[in-house]
Amino acid sequence: MGFKYLSDHQLALFQQQGFLVLRNVLNKEEVNTIKDEFEKEWLASITDGTVKQREKERLSSLYPNKFHVHKKSSVINKMMTSGRIIKIVEDILGEEALIVSSTAFYKTPGTGAMQPHQDEYGFGAGKSSCAIWVGLEEINEENGGLYFIPESHTLELVNVPTDLIERDSLPDNFKIVDIDIAAGDAIIIHPFVIHGSKKNSSLYKFRHVLFGFYAGASVQEIFENNEELMDKNGQYVKKAKNLKHMKKRIRIDHQPFWGV
């Protein structure tokens, strides 16, 4: 795979803590280009009537997350399949990467928390997968942030309590770490690390984020979106559905909460 974007130290840090913060991955122009695409996607869904305002969540209901943006916007697709983003992901996976999913997060003022979770629960692609989360403006606890439990990727899938961050103590001395982000910074997320975001409690600040989930080309089975993974040339790739994962999820849902 030739030139590496990540140093051995960064790769080791990722393996140790289960996530890796990378500063200035995208420049201002690239950040603005993605935000413009988010805006176009949003305008399209207002125009075609798919977005409907709800009485209870008057602002956040106008800005639902947009899934699979790499299929809708050729600009975002290019950003996710060429250049630094894919290079970083392939350094982590150690092989060619396929896009499984992408999300445009708008997270308006007042939008609620994303509960602590392990991405593996949703995607079921195993350890040869990872997410990249790209901040498109200044992001901190006030507008929702992103937090991690370092080293929690050493756990298998667990039933993560939804009130985890309100607890006084965590099992085995795990701790919660909030990450502050500037526009263009990115975070690589291990599929088993526990993470989540808080309520956007600011009055006026959105929290725009581009999230991409990737699996290594050698992955045989995947639970989520198994028929429409996408390679770097925009070709769809089909994988077997990871049906064992469904059973595993049911088992985990019935297990006691992690650490209780």
Ligand X SMILES: O=C(O)CCC(=O)C(=O)O
Q: From the CB of 7, what's the least distance to ligand X, in Å?
A: 25
CA–centroid distance for 193 within its chain: 11
Output the smallest distance, CB 27 to ligand X, in A: 21
Residue in 46, 51, 62, 114 binding ligand X, rule: CB under 6 A: 114
Residue in 19, 63, 105, 206 binding ligand X, rule: CB under 6 A: 105
Q: For ligand X, which is the closer residue by CB, 79 or 181?
A: 181
* Distance of closest approach, residue 2 Cβ to ligand X, in angstroms: 30
Parallel/antiparallel/unpaired status of strands 229-230 and 236-237:
antiparallel
Report the residue number, 9 or 23, with the smaller CB distance to ligand X: 23
90 touches ligand X by CB under 6 A: no
CB 104 within 8 A of CB 69: yes
Give the residue with the Cβ less far from ligand X, 195 or 239: 195
> Least distance (Å) from ligand X to the CB of residue 49?
26
Q: Check binding of 38 to ligand X (CB under 6 A).
A: no
Alpha-carbon distance 16 to 91, whole Å?
Answer: 16
- The rounded distance, in Å, linking the Cα atoms of 199 and 211 is 18
Residue nearest to ligand X (CB): 197
Q: How far is the CB of 144 from ligand X (least distance, A)?
A: 6
Q: Which is nearer to ligand X, 3 or 62 (CB)?
A: 62
Please identify, using beta-carbon distances, which residue of 105 and 174 lies nearer to ligand X.
Answer: 105
Residue whose pair of structure tokens reads 């209901």 in the numeric block: 61
- Compute the least distance from the CB of residue 236 to ligand X, in Å: 22
**SS3 of 179, please?**
coil
Q: Which is nearer to ligand X, 174 or 213 (CB)?
A: 213
8 A C-beta contact, residue 147 and residue 178: yes
Residues 6+ apart with CB under 8 A from 257: 159, 160, 161
CA distance 155 to 153: 5
Minimum separation from the CB atom of position 65 to ligand X (A): 8
Total residues at the site for ligand X (CB under 6 A)?
9
For tokens 């009055």, the residue is: 203
Residue 58: C-alpha distances to residues 51, 62, 63, 103 (Å)? 12, 7, 10, 21
Residue type, 173: N
Q: Both tokens of residue 232?
A: 């770097």
Q: Whose Cβ is closer to ligand X: residue 162's or residue 173's? A: 162
Which residues in the 167-206 window bind ligand X by CB under 6 A? 195, 197
Told to check if 146 binds ligand X by CB under 6 A, we report yes
Amino acid identity for residue 113 in this structure: A
Q: Enumerate residues 209-228 that contact ligand X by CB under 6 A.
A: 209, 211
> Helix 28-47 and helix 74-81: axis angle, to 10°?
140
Q: What residues make contact with ligand X under the rule CB under 6 A?
A: 103, 105, 114, 119, 146, 195, 197, 209, 211
